[in-house]
Structure 1
């Protein structure tokens, strides 16, 4: 096997729950209507989907995004508003202003904090943000997106951490932090682009081995200015069938 863990043994809890998808944000509904329609398809094992109107909620309510957010809520899909933390440099007031717009315009059920810091020194401010978001939105589901394993204390302030975000070439040789073994798979998410169809089984084994409960794999690449998450992977139907049917919480 080409993947590693810090202990050299599989996570005992990784196989306990069913894998599901976390969608980090498709293109605008006018540009990606098929992608948004797929998210509402019955029995797709979807844990959450991110609404990113314009690197945030945008300057005004977008009727097309509202229609998709409403359709997903009706399908019992958890919709998260995208908040760019900018590695802890984004002013607190700006983040709250964006959060209010997401709640008022799109009635989101939580927030996806993108570009979160990873160091211990950044934890206090991110904890403050998460606590305030939960006060604004009862039952809010909060995802911290670090893209790598952060200081362990972050896990106590989020519902889920994105501990890997990057290309397949790195993922297949990635290692899991030892502290993650103290938490169940539903606390961790892996986002991987450039995964060839022929390596889907291997990628799924890595996710389970490393204890991730939520994934998003795509064959699209992130080279240049291309956003690999904006469109469906070419093997969407295949990976949905491999994971199996499910419903969002």
Structure 2
């Protein structure tokens, strides 16, 4: 069972999908936790959106000033979203929010999609995005390991996670929701939040929750 074992190099990857104007105290807590963070996934509108959002631009500046990686969110729809659309999303994240990395969501696990994702990774790196995270949500084919800095090899609820014996490596990340307060996933980079339902990533990890 992968539960609370964690290395001393533990750090948080935070996918917090809330607007800064709606949750200023929560975002302040994220910025304040900078030394404990691997990075923050910035997701203004299921991607960069159609125009720059000044509130997210200001937040991204605060994160960068605190030394936090800013990872622009882009949905790849398991390889179905066209290459040009994904790259355009990443470039907007770079130009509008000075993102220095990318979080590619809904990445398949099958080796047949590797050529598509190799092209995406080459384009992302050419655009200056230094840190790349692929969110498979499950353990992928070995070829993906050479493409990115971090692979999300589990995303799901605690009730499923606690029964699994998953591979652990420095470049793997587990994202767990519906998690009790004392849960810390097994991978060095991780995130466990209390949120449930269709939008669990609208909640912060227990350790980052501000005092109300």
TM-score (norm: length of structure 1): 0.78
Cα distance in 2 for partners of 1:53, 1:123 equals 28
Q: Is the 8 A contact 1:26 1:32 kept in 2?
A: no
Cα distance in 1 for partners of 2:86, 2:119 equals 11
User: Which residue, out of 228, 232, 237, partners 2:200?
Assistant: 228
CA deviations 1:159-202 (Å, max 9, x no partner) are 0000010000000011224xx6xxx42x01111011122xx2xx
Cα distance in 1 for partners of 2:41, 2:34 equals 18
Q: Is the 8 A contact 2:158 2:177 kept in 1?
A: yes
* Residue of structure 2 equivalent to 1:61: 52
Cα distance in 2 for partners of 1:220, 1:25 equals 11
CA deviations 1:87-135 (Å, max 9, x no partner) are 0001011011111111111110110000001101011111110111001
The structure 1 segments of at least 4 consecutive aligned residues displaced by more than 6 Å after TM superposition are none
2:140 paired with 1:150:
yes
User: Which residue, out of 214, 217, 229, partners 2:189?
Assistant: 214
Q: Is the 8 A contact 1:146 1:161 kept in 2?
A: yes
Q: Note the residue ranges of structure 1 that are not aligned, 5 or more in a row.
A: 5-10, 239-249
Cα distance in 2 for partners of 1:193, 1:231 equals 9
* Residue of structure 2 equivalent to 1:110: 101
Q: Is the 8 A contact 2:16 2:42 kept in 1?
A: yes
Of structures 1 and 2, the one with the larger relative CO (CA 8 A, separation 6+) is 1
Partner SS state of residue 40, structure 1: helix
Deviation at 1:158, TM superposition (A): 0.5
Cα distance in 1 for partners of 2:145, 2:91 equals 24
Cα distance in 2 for partners of 1:220, 1:105 equals 29
* Residue of structure 1 equivalent to 2:180: 196
Deviation at 1:218, TM superposition (A): 1.2
Say what the alpha-carbon RMSD is for the aligned residues: 2.0
Cα distance in 2 for partners of 1:117, 1:42 equals 31
Q: Note the residue ranges of structure 2 that are not aligned, 5 or more in a row.
A: none
* Residue of structure 2 equivalent to 1:160: 150
